[in-house]
Every structure is written in C-alpha cells, then in structure tokens.
Amino acid sequence: MKSVDMRPVRESTVVSREIAGETVLVPICRSAADLESIFVLNEVASFVWERLDGQHTLQDIELAVVEDYDVAPEQARTDVQGFVAQLLENGLVQET
C-alpha cells in the first residue's frame, strides 16, 4: 500500500499524446520514441495521469476521482494506488 502523501511525478522520458480520444504514453528509449511498446490509458487513467505532476498527493487524486466518478472512496483508493504502482513498475512515473 502506497503512502497517501506520496506525490508521484511523470517521468521526463515519457511522451504523452492524445490519439483517437485515448491517451497514449510513449517511452523514450535510446533517444527515440519506442513505438514497439506503448501504453494506452482509458478515460479515468488519463484523469489520474494528468494529476501526476509532483504537486498532487495520492490522497488529492483519490478525492478528485471520487468527486468526478461514481466510485466508493475505498475502491478509488485501491484503484488509484494499483494504477500508480503499475506506472512505477513500468518506469513511467517516479516517487517524490
């Protein structure tokens, strides 16, 4: 379980683009955008991704998700934390 005070920040080596209504994350590998391994985010994941700026804590993000989407606070916490853990695992964000 991640600390709710954690302020994850997007890695500078990841480029995001809006393609056909979806957010696509492209890692920069050896100075090139690697199209062999891109990440696609759904709507809620994009909502969370936009807030991973090193300013918002996980708790801020969880509250924003509860406010905008039909989800119980406990479920939002589990989902946001799981998502951030996945991003960390794939080197797309870093902890601050």
Which residues bind to another protein, rule: CB under 8 A? Answer: 15, 17, 19-20, 24, 26, 28-45, 48, 65, 68-71, 75-76, 79-80, 82-83, 86-87, 90
- Residue with Cβ nearer another protein (6 or 24): 24
Give 56's contacts (C-beta < 8 A, 6+ positions apart): 7, 64
- Residue with Cβ nearer another protein (5 or 70): 70
CB 34 to another protein: min, Å: 5
Tokens 């039909």 sit at which residue? 70
CB 48 to another protein: min, Å: 6
CB 20 to another protein: min, Å: 6
The torsion angle over the Cα atoms of residues 11, 3, 54 and 64, rounded to 10 degrees, is 110
C-alpha to C-alpha distance for 64 and 37, rounded to whole angstroms? 29
For Cα atoms 84, 87, 92, give the angle at the middle one, nearest 5 degrees. 135
- Residue with Cβ nearer another protein (53 or 68): 68
